Structure 1
Amino acid sequence: MSAELVFNLTEVADFMRTRLPGFRLCEGARAIGLRRDGVIVAGVIYEGFNGPNIWMHVAAVPGRRWLTREYLLACFRYPFEVCGVQRITGYVDASNTDARRFDEALGFKEEARLKGAAEDGGDVILYVMRREDCRYGTVSPN
């Protein structure tokens, strides 16, 4: 299976919309997707860069072998090394146990809960990966 990184924002955003209902692209967003055998199987969109923080949204096709070391390195090097942020923030509905398990396995830590903010009436969990906690690539403190 051939795999390639995709940096086309429109193409990755179109994929994200198929995986994340209600996904909206914000101005200034950036993207890294993964194409396998001609089809995008994973996407990461970054938005809300403010210097110390950037928001990260992730979507993937289950079971399509998308979580490669190369892709992980690209997805964490961009915010920490290119943008120079100190932290990456993401949010997950508390009811989405698969996404929560995935984020926690990557090393994201729960930072806050927004009570009743999820579409299903449940909580939204804010997760954070700090630069010093990142285990992917050569990320080092500024």
Structure 2
Amino acid sequence: MLVYDLDAVHAFMKGRIPGLHRCDDMQAIGWEERGQLVAGVLYEGFNPHNVWMHVAAVPGARWMRREYLRACFAYPFLVCGVERISGYVNESNWQARGFDEHLGFKEEARLRGAAPDGGDVIIYVMRREDCRYVQVPQH
């Protein structure tokens, strides 16, 4: 079930993403199973063209449902009208990288040596026209 409670989703994600801080403009969509949050998406840094997305989930939980993915991409593209969604992943986090690429995000840039482990931070982007989860009107 979809959850739009910023406090609950942020608390869930803060325990799973080290260094995650709450921002004034932050919005959230969570997924709940049997009364427990099992996944969350936070959005921040909104501008007319881009929003930053953060994702966290309980390992092994069945949360990648079409309904949830549609909601997570409809909000930035259809409600907010941004042209792109950006996210960043440490190069060493191969699971998160594979997840982003599976969803359709593409590598756009690397911040050399910027990760806590000394590796690269990879910037991933999904552009509106590349999103397969919602029918996005073209501008």
User: Normalised by the shorter chain, which TM-score bucket?
Assistant: over 0.9
Identity %: 65
Aligned to 2:109: 112
Find 2:58's aligned residue among 33, 58, 61: 61
> How big is each residue's C-alpha offset from its partner over 1:16-65, in whole Å with a ceiling of 9 and x where there is no partner?
01111111111110000001001000000000001100000000011110
Partner of 2:38: 41
Distance, in Å, in 1 between the alignment partners of 2:125 and 2:28 is: 19
Question: CA-to-partner distance for each residue in 1:59-105, whole Å, 9 max, x for gaps?
Answer: 00111101000000000000000000000000000000000000001
Instruction: Kindly report the root-mean-square deviation, in angstroms, between the aligned alpha carbons of the 2 structures.
Output: 0.6
Task: Report SS of the residue matched to 1:40.
Answer: strand
Q: Tell me the equivalent position of 1:141.
A: 138
AA at the equivalent of 2:46: F
Instruction: Name stretches of at least 5 consecutive residues in structure 1 with no aligned partner.
Output: none
| 1:32 and 2:29 correspond | yes
What is the TM-score when the length of structure 1 is the normalising length?
0.96
Partner of 2:74: 77
- Following superposition, which runs of at least 4 residues in structure 1 exceed 4 angstroms of deviation? none
Query: Partner of 1:12 in structure 2?
Result: 9
Q: Normalising by the residue count of structure 2, what TM-score does the alignment of the two structures yield?
A: 0.98
Equivalent AA in structure 1 for residue 78 of structure 2? E
Query: Gaps (5+ residues) in structure 2?
Result: none
Amino acid at match of 1:52: H
Query: Match for 1:129 among 123, 126, 130?
Result: 126
Aligned residues: 139
1:140 deviates by: 2.2
